């Protein structure tokens, strides 16, 4: 079994997609054992509690710097013998030391087709605002391993989503979540738990 921790900061619809996939039997070799929020008011915490998953809160502002924060986070994860960390709308950037320590064991979901609309400053609704401002006709979502480069780690899965006339950032965000993120993230987690992801030269190979 792969012990999974999901890190959240907000609504937690991606966490919910993982909980639902697990209950449908789609993450057979993974166990959702811990949900950690950077925000005590995150609705994601209620979703976790309802699913019977233990939760914790670590606020960045309670720590002197990112290194102290990451050390406390690592300790919590190690205590629970976590094998895979899933960033599901986690809005705190983690330091290089943390990314190195957990190399190829952290997965993130990002609401665009990387390398478009990603990196520092591109998160949540801002990503969709930027896509609409640019006038792209197709956007989507990406699930990738986390490296020291923000949104720069090896890509696991991507899915395109059409932009439609009259889209607002909010409407587009909902479509990207429903048509891409909530499908890709459980699939990527399941592939990881089944031992089917290989990383070489910054690229992911998926074994059949």
- What's the min distance (Å) between Cβ of 119 and ligand GAR? 9
Nearer to ligand GAR, 118 or 195 (CB): 118
Q: Report the nearest approach of ligand GAR to the CB of residue 141 (Å).
A: 6
> CA Rg, the chain, in Å?
16
By C-beta, is 111 or 153 nearer to ligand GAR? 111
Q: Which single residue brings its beta carbon nearest to ligand GAR? A: 89
Residue closer to ligand GAR (CB basis): 174 or 198: 174
CB closer to ligand GAR out of 1 and 178? 178
- Find the shortest distance in angstroms from Cβ 117 to ligand GAR: 10
Is 144 annotated in the active site?
A: no
Q: Min. distance of Cβ 150 from ligand GAR in angstroms?
A: 8
Active-site hit among 110, 128, 144, 182: 110
Give the shortest CB-185-to-ligand GAR separation in angstroms: 8
Q: Which residues bind ligand GAR (CB under 6 A)?
A: 8, 10-14, 44, 88-89, 109-111, 123-124, 127, 177, 181
- 32 close to 14: Cβ distance less than 8 angstroms: no
Six-digit token string for 93: 């950037």
Q: Nearer Cβ to ligand GAR, position 126 or 205?
A: 126
φ and ψ at residue 71, rounded to 5 degrees? -65, -45
What are the residue numbers of the active site?
110
């Amino acid at each position: 079994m792969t012990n999974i921790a999901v890190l959240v900061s907000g609504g937690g619809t991606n966490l919910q997609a993982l909980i639902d996939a697990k209950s449908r039997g789609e993450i057979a070799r993974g166990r959702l054992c811990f949900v950690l929020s950077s925000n005590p008011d995150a609705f994601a915490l209620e979703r976790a509690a309802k699913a019977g998953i233990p939760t914790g809160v670590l606020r960045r502002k309670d720590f002197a710097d990112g290194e102290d924060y990451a050390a406390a986070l690592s300790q919590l994860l190690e205590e629970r013998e976590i094998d895979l960390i899933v960033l599901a709308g986690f809005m705190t950037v983690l330091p290089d030391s943390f990314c190195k320590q957990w190399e190829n064991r952290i997965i993130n979901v990002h609401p665009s087709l990387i390398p478009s609309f990603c990196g520092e400053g591109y998160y949540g609704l801002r990503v969709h605002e930027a896509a609409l401002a640019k006038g792209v006709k197709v956007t989507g979502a990406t699930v990738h391993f986390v490296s020291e480069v923000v949104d720069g780690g090896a890509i696991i899965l991507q899915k395109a989503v059409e932009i439609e006339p009259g889209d607002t950032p909010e409407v587009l965000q909902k479509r990207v979540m429903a048509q891409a993120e909530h499908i890709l993230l459980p699939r990527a987690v399941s592939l990881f738990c089944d031992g089917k992801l290989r990383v070489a030269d910054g690229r992911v190979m998926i074994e059949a």
